[in-house]
Amino acid sequence: MTDIDALMRTAPVIPVIVIDELEHAVPLAEALVAGGLPVLEVTLRTPAALSAIAAMKQVPGAIVGAGTVANPRDLEDALAAGSEFIVSPGLTEPLAQAAIRRGVPFLPGIANAGDIMRGLDLGLTHFKFFPAMAAGGLPALKSLAAPFGACRFCPTGGIGLDNAAEWLAFDPVLCVGGSWVAPRGAPDREQVERVAREAAALTR
């Protein structure tokens, strides 16, 4: 299994995906992978999410994980569906310990120094900075990252093509999460692939 560092370095953008209809899952995954964004975060926000993870796993080249994982039960459901990594909006000790116990790449959300310190106490060094813009944007992350030189980040929340490059230029940022590359609804495969190519061309 790929570790979280390698996963975050695979592509500059991790699509944050909400699937309402299961039939949208495979075409969307195929378009994103074809556009150069193989790491796909399917959020557990809809009844179709777990089935979508299982379906997307069949797409060649796709690395599919679950987002919006809030507790150990969500984690087990996501792993049963075939998730290859786990993303959470926050960091709790029960969830982190469950992820560590299961040996799955885990990216918990942090928004302040206390979150990071709690993660470090658990042996974690890679975090989602969330909600990135609402939590103070890049200046806030620069201030947070300064005392924690070993930590690496995936900012998510309010990031789009217009500001992603600025985030990626900050060394501790390995990738960004973004929903702009995977709009909700029936995917326009050509459009999704084009937008994915733009995102995949961003440099860290």
Where in the sequence numbering do the catalytic residues fall? Answer: 41, 128
Radius of gyration, CA atoms only, the chain: 16
Q: How many Å apart are CA 203 and CA 77, to the nearest integer?
A: 34
Burial of 115-133, coded b for 16+ CB within 10 Å and e otherwise, reads bbebbeebebbbbbbbbbb
> Could you tell me the two tokens for 78?
């996501």
Contact 94, 122 (CB under 8 A): no
Longest dimension (CA), the chain: 46
Per DSSP, what are the bridge partners of residue 177? 14, 156
